[in-house]
Amino acid sequence: MARHASIVMLKLLLLLFFFQSSISEIIFEERFEDGWQGRWVKSDWKRADGKAGEFKHATGKWFGDPDDKGIQTSGDAKHFAITAKIPEFTNKNRTLVLQYSIRFEQDIECGGGYIKLLSGFVNQKKFGGDTPYSLMFGPDICGTQTKNLHVILSYQGQNYPIKKELECETDKLTHFYTFILRPDASYSILIDNRERDSGSMYTDWDILPPRKIRDVKAKKPADWDDREYIEDPNAKKPEGYDSIPKEIPDPQAKEPDNWDEEEDGIWKAPKIPNPKYKGPWKPKKIKNPNYKGKWKIPYIDNPEFEDDPDLYVLKPIKYVGIEIWQVKAGSVFDNVLISDDPEYAKQVVDEVLANREVEKEAFEEAEKVRKAREEEEAQRAREEGERRRRERGYDRRYRHKEHYRDRYKRHPRDYMDDYHDEL
């Protein structure tokens, strides 16, 4: 009886373990509603020399939901740094999901829009560009050529950027960026719930030496036949093929009526290409029955490779932070999520982007107003320029007339002087 009870208890414990391990967890979620200032700490980094910008609580210029606010960068050519402390989280044996949204309302010219996960103790008031991080993820734009999507992982104190060239979105609408890292070291990158890229930490970061390397000593076997097609050995040249002339007399040509054989010689029809001539004879090509494919240098195990089953494991995460520099401010950060549940992350994206059409309409209306204002300002500038040109032209004409009049006008006293001189 006691043995039976022990077995039942063991089964219950196992069920409880598997049930708990299957429960997803939201480690941190920030929608920047009222009270967000109590969760985030603004850094004093760059403040003493006047280079620190401010995050303001705002919806931005256009939006899908008037009640949905984020934090927006303000102050051009500034550094921005802010962090929030989160419940300590380790991704060992768990999936890590980092997701957030950003809207570049400004013509950013050059600046970042990425987010960081931080480990260990961080002095939040001194958080800045030199603060170590475990993961950096998000857009970095500079000019029309640089549209990077950074994914930088820290391993044993060193930062490793992804080797792929990934591009971010550059329009002025809200976009969600999602990074998923799994216990098998595979990853996925999503933008607006669409997978932009995927792969493995083993191959897409230069963290560990590759598992396999090319065998530089390998040589193609002497009997390796890499000819896909060969000449048909059974083909035979047709009889008389070599006697077919390249050109033949034109059968349509006629001797001219005024041709004189005594003076012009015997008339011969001009030559034309012979349609029966096919060029030098070549046997036809057939599939090579001994074809083995193109020979490739084989891969062998890399003797320098030493696996790390915890390659994907980041140091325990304690903070999430934004640390960027922007030439022009105006980016709206929102919907920060740290979780182990990709499905919940997708639900958040679908929920927010359900208002995408409303946001597009608001953006298009704002663009119309902006363009109309710019045209109005340009028209005023043209009118002001024309007014100044007219004034300058009038002044020149007026000054010319005055100069002419002063030059030839004589004072009455001048005539009296002439009279006295003559006397």
Annotated binding-site ranges for an alpha-D-glucoside: 114, 116, 133, 140, 323
Tokens of 184: 């098998």
Give phi and psi for 291, each to the nearest 5: -65, 130
3-class DSSP assignment, residue 373: helix
Closest by Cα among 178, 35, 197 to 96: 178
3-state secondary structure of 302: coil
What is d(CA 72, CA 66) in angstroms, rounded to the nearest whole number? 15
Residue numbers belonging to the annotated binding site: 114, 116, 133, 140, 323
The CA angle 41-46-51, to the nearest 5 degrees, is 115
Measured distance CA(133)–CA(118) in Å, rounded: 5
Q: Judge whether 134 and 118 are in contact, CB under 8 Å.
A: yes
Residue listed under structure tokens 């985030």: 40
* Alpha carbon distance 324, 115 (integer Å): 9
Q: Report the alpha-carbon distance of residue 316 to residue 314 in Å, rounded.
A: 6
Please list, residue by residue across 266-291, b when 16 or more beta carbons sit within 10 angstroms of its beta carbon and e when fewer do. Answer: eeeeeeeeeeeeeeeeeeeeeeeeee
d(CA 32, CA 40): 10
For the record, the structure tokens of 85 come out as 């402390």
Please report, for residues 38, 163, 319, the alpha-carbon distance to residue 81 in angstroms, rounded to integers and kept in the order given.
16, 27, 13
CA distance 298 to 273: 52
Alpha-carbon distance of 319 to 133, in angstroms, equals: 9
Residue pair 302/211 in contact (Cβ under 8 Å)? The answer is yes
Q: How far apart are CA 252 and CA 102, in angstroms?
A: 79
Integer CA distances (angstroms), 44 to 27, 53, 111, in order: 27, 10, 20
